[in-house]
Structure 1
Amino acid sequence: MEEKKIDVKEVWDNAYKESMREELGWYESVPEPSLSLIKKYVPSRYKEVLDAGCGESTLLQSLIDNGFKELAGMDLSSEAIKFQKENLKYIQGETEISLKVGDLTEKLNFEKKGTLWHDRAVFHFIFEDSLRKNYKENVKKYLEDDGIFILACFSRENEAERCNGLLVNKQDIEDLEKFFEDSFVMIESLKYSYTMPWGDVRKYIYCIFSKKSYNLS
């Protein structure tokens, strides 16, 4: 009997419907090292930052609290986007925030370019080569020349094979550098051990890229 195809959007919608944010296995009260890396690479608080696969993460609120004025969040789950819209606290007119449902593995159009794309644990769910290429094209399309791309994935050293019931395509730094090298230059990498709310440890790698700029004249 053929296995039923998984509806990934339904999987994530159900996760956010059924659990409080603090109960989710990927919850961070303080979103480090992502927050520190974004502050390091985006000194201007008036440059747009996109949290790609934002879920119910605390990152957007942390960026607001640190003075960032132009932010965007995108997620496959409409439940996650609804949560962010209802719970983010900011002053209208002082901070511009765009929150949208979107599939990062489909070819997307963006209203404007931004200076940083942040992804904690979306890319590592993508196995199919064509979808990985679509994801990379979206990053290229969104970022301005010399824009920054921060990518966090399960490391090959990580013991867990799944997250939220979904298989994870674990990576190493060399894998990611090779895949993105046609359009991005790696400028920093680090290993990070994340402790889940109940104490289990998940080993991540963080890779920071700069989008290549091209002089067409």
Structure 2
Amino acid sequence: MTDFDAQTHWETVYKSKGEADVSWFEETPALSIKLLQTAGLASGMAVIDVGGGASRLVDALAQSDNLEITVLDLSAAALERARARISNAHGVKWIVSNVTAWMPDKKYDLWHDRAAFHFLTSTEERSAYVSVMGETLKESGKAIIGTFAADGPEKCSGLPVTRYEPDELASILSPKFRLLTTERHQHHTPWDSVQNFQFSIFEKVEE
């Protein structure tokens, strides 16, 4: 899809469906919080949620003291839904952009991506993503990337995805990032179907 088509697609999704009417909805982002903590989440850190949409991760992070939180997504409607939901949204930076074309204006300690990367189906898109992630993270910064596992769904929201084993993902991110740990996860959709994910934590390699 072109950038314009993708943005239109996601705007339509978030404007036409309720929060719990999409397969990726989570009442509580327990695994993401756990992995962020494993990656060293601490007071004063700058954290970016890439493809965060209307996810409730920002709600949980906003309850922590002294975090610099940014949520980036293609859909303005998704970000507005999240912004309207949380009482302390004024402390969050909201960015409407395609991550592959985004130019960061600061460095971050932690990068979180639950199910955005697997929509990048071309080598060019993936290379651009890795380049942006490298520019965004501080030296030794950590990235948490969740994608459909090799035996996960072939599509999401009607769009094709690329499924990964952790070592396949690691080969794409190498040599700028090294794999630290990985976890397999079964996500239960609101209608109780099961989607197999892999979540991996990477560290930026010092140049």
TM-score (norm 1): 0.90
Are residue 102 (structure 1) and residue 93 (structure 2) matched? no
1:24 aligned residue: 22
Residue 33 of structure 1 aligns to which amino acid in structure 2? L
Relative to total residues, which structure has the larger helix share, 1 or 2?
Answer: 2
Deviations 1:54-111 (A, max 9, x none): 110000001112435210000011111222222222285xxx32101010122x2112
* Alignment match, 1:137: 131
The answer as to whether partners of 2:147 and 2:197 remain within 8 angstroms in 1 is: yes
Structure 2: which 5+ runs fail to align?
none
Distance 1:110 1:78 in 2: 18
**Which of the numbers 188, 192, 196 marks the counterpart of 2:185?**
192
Q: How many pairs are equivalent? A: 206
Aligned twin of 2:33: 35
Over alpha carbons, which structure has the higher Rg?
1
Q: How far apart are residue 129 of structure 1 and its match?
A: 0.7
Q: Which residue of 2 aligns with 1:165?
A: 158
Greater shift, 186-195 or 6-15, is seen at 6-15
Give the alignment of 1:80-99 within 5 angstroms.
80-90=78-88, 96-99=91-94
Cα distance in 2 for partners of 1:68, 1:195 equals: 32
Please list every run of 5 or more consecutive structure 1 residues that lacks an aligned counterpart in the other structure: none
2:196: which partner in 1? 203
Identical amino acids, percent of aligned pairs: 26
1:5 & 1:77 partners in 2: Cα distance?
A: 11
TM-score (norm 2): 0.94
Regions of 4+ moved over 6 Å: none
| Deviation per residue, 1:156-199 (Å, 9 max, x gap) | 111x2110000111111111111112101111001000000101
SS at match of 2:27: coil
